[in-house]
Structure 1
Amino acid sequence: MAARLFLSLSLLCLAAQAAARQRVLLYTYAQGYQHASRYDAAEALEKLGDEHSFSTVHLDEPTQLEENGWLDQFDALVFISTSGHALTPQGARNMRRYIEAGGGWMGIHEASDTAYEYPWYGRLCGAYFGGHPFIQHAEFEVAPDHADHPSVTAVPKHWDVFGEVYHFSSDPRALNHEVVLTVDPSSYISNDATRKELNAIQGAPHPIAWYKEGNLLTAPKGSVGGGVDDKPDTKRSQRGTGGDGRSFYTALGHTSASFRDADMLNHILGGLQWVLASPSIRSASADAPPTAPGTRYVGGAPAISPNATTPAATVGSNRTSGAANVTRVGVPDAVLGKAGAAASLRPSTMAVGTGSALVALSLAGLFVLQ
């Protein structure tokens, strides 16, 4: 009997571990230009979560962010081609506090064209969007000094990509972001600014993807420009300071096809895994303070509020298998109704990362009953 009880307790521990995947928020709300590819990116990250043991919550409606403490359950926030006023004042306040407490952030493509009214967001991202020429092929290059960063270890050193070559309003290196990917200026046609003009604004070589660890929100002592400096009327309590976590941004990801490309998937997965390994979040370090955001390795589903104001809140999957780690909140019906999606939706309030745990719990119960 003692042996059976020991085995049962062991299985319960395994069940808790299985249910305790790191949890990632995929945020795709856009006010302005609407990249259809942001939903393809979300689906790609959901699949990567299945394959690499992290859970995802897909949010396409900003008012959920207004609920105090809701963000604290996440190990990282991923802004996927968000644009314009993607944060309400209360949502922005909660997000700023989340980053100040050590939470992680990753931005994809148009995420740099977001929240211009909050300079701390520009500092978190590294730079604001400054424009782009027409869609075309260009050659992107891994920065030799940072070739060992997980976001670029599994991509070509000279990488041909079809999409938009983003220009930026300031140099992310002025905020101590480390550039891992640049673009060869001779490989594409810039019809909105000369190379000399771009170098003066965003630095050289031309930055495309970068990362930073620690001090994510503090304003620089001198002016950087490009919207990342605090405005004279910015209240001291809203300026943003510190932030011990990790930030990663990539300007790639304009087309839907890019999120079916193995190199692009390696790029975003490597960046996200680096963010998720930050010692500032509870799931990655036993030394993280108890007030730090993130999963607590005790299992369970994310705290989706029953009082959420999201329209037609639905929890479930857009795939027919391997999707126990996917939650959708406020995603438009037009997106959920894509071919093959509607049939697999399973309304629920607790459907994230629980599949393996239920199997282990069932086994444990059998041993106890014998």
Structure 2
Amino acid sequence: MKKNLLLPFLALAATVFLFSFREKKPHVLIFFKTSGYYHNSIPEGIAAIRQLGEQNGFTCDTTTDSLQFNKRTLKKYAAVIFLNTTGNVLGDEQQKMMEQFIRSGRGYVGVHAATDTEYDWPWYNQLVGAYFKSHPKQQQAIVLPAHAALKGMPSLPAKWSRWDEWYNFKSTHWNKVNVLLTLDEKSIEGADNAGYHPIAWYREFDGGRSFYTAMGHTKESYADPLFLNHLLAGIKYAIGK
């Protein structure tokens, strides 16, 4: 009889334990608001990041609503991903909330057009590491590994040939970021980055962590295992895993 009475309590305890375990998964907010060019690869990007989360122990929410950048909402997240955002996407109050978010030790991931975002916000320029200046036509190019390393970053070919839209940058902070990948400017037409062309980097900034990749314009990027593993390493870094 006592055993029968004990079973419901054991079941309840197991449920609470499992619920608590699941709740420990880091939460990530995918923000994809645009006030300029809209990338039609955004849905593929969202789906790919969700799948990465399912496979690697983090959960994702998505929004284009800048009002979600408030203290109560942001405290749920370990990192925010700016997925092909463009233009001015946050108001003054939301910018303050984003700054507080990073200063609390959280993370930021910028994908491709995240550098084509918030040109009038100097703090954001430092967070993301550079601003978009221009791009030539989409084309095949050679990506080269740089000296910096990031935990979990996959081994890439010594010369990684891939098709994408390749950005040139301005307002750069190369001396403050850890460059992971550079572009071989001899491999493309229209390169305009003074001979040194970082396209992926990370840094600690203002109490938090930042990772940026210039790749990710095309739909095909989000089905490319090499790119996805590269992006996953950046997300893990941002969330502190």
Q: TM-score, normalised by structure 2?
A: 0.91
Q: Deviations over 1:65-88 (max 9, x none)?
A: 2x4421111000000110101111
Report the count of equivalent residues: 237
User: How far, CA to CA, are the matches of 1:273 and 1:82 in structure 2?
Assistant: 20
Partner SS state of residue 44, structure 1: helix
Instruction: Give the CA deviation at 1:15.
Output: 2.5
Determine which structure has the larger strand proportion and give its number: 2
Q: Is the 8 A contact 1:151 1:268 kept in 2?
A: no
5 Å-filtered alignment, 1:240-251, equals 243-251=206-214
**Counterpart of 2:162?**
161
Matched, 1:258 2:224: no
User: How far, CA to CA, are the matches of 2:158 and 2:12 in structure 1?
Assistant: 50
Q: Is the 8 A contact 2:131 2:172 kept in 1?
A: no
Partner SS state of residue 69, structure 1: helix
5 Å-filtered alignment, 1:219-258, equals 243-258=206-221
**Counterpart of 2:79?**
76
**Counterpart of 2:188?**
188
Q: TM-score, normalised by structure 1?
A: 0.61
Q: Deviations over 1:151-183 (max 9, x none)?
A: 642432321111111111033323x11000001
Instruction: Give the CA deviation at 1:10.
Output: 4.3
5 Å-filtered alignment, 1:1-370, equals 1=3, 4=7, 5=9, 8-65=12-69, 67-143=70-146, 145-146=147-148, 148-150=149-151, 152-174=153-175, 176-190=176-190, 193=192, 198-199=193-194, 205-213=196-204, 216=205, 243-277=206-240
User: How far, CA to CA, are the matches of 1:69 and 1:97 in structure 2?
Assistant: 12
User: How far, CA to CA, are the matches of 2:213 and 2:90 in structure 1?
Assistant: 20
Partner SS state of residue 207, structure 2: coil
Instruction: Give the CA deviation at 1:38.
Output: 1.9
User: How far, CA to CA, are the matches of 2:162 and 2:94 in structure 1?
Assistant: 34
Q: Bigger CA drift: 94-103 or 132-141? A: 94-103
Q: Is the 8 A contact 1:154 1:267 kept in 2?
A: no
Q: Is the 8 A contact 1:107 1:248 kept in 2?
A: yes
The residue type paired with residue 258 of structure 1 is: S
User: How far, CA to CA, are the matches of 1:68 and 1:182 in structure 2?
Assistant: 36
Greater relative CO (CA pairs within 8 A, separation 6+): 1
User: How far, CA to CA, are the matches of 1:24 and 1:167 in structure 2?
Assistant: 28
The residue type paired with residue 98 of structure 1 is: F
User: How far, CA to CA, are the matches of 2:31 and 2:155 in structure 1?
Assistant: 25
Instruction: Give the CA deviation at 1:8.
Output: 4.4
Q: Bigger CA drift: 75-84 or 45-54? A: 45-54
User: How far, CA to CA, are the matches of 1:141 and 1:208 in structure 2?
Assistant: 10
Larger Rg: 1 or 2? 1
Q: Is the 8 A contact 2:125 2:171 kept in 1?
A: no
User: How far, CA to CA, are the matches of 2:201 and 2:119 in structure 1?
Assistant: 19
Change (3 A) 1:248 1:151: farther
User: How far, CA to CA, are the matches of 1:79 and 1:56 in structure 2?
Assistant: 13
What residue ranges of structure 1 are gaps of 5+ in the alignment?
217-242, 279-370
What residue ranges of structure 2 are gaps of 5+ in the alignment?
none
Instruction: Give the CA deviation at 1:120.
Output: 0.1
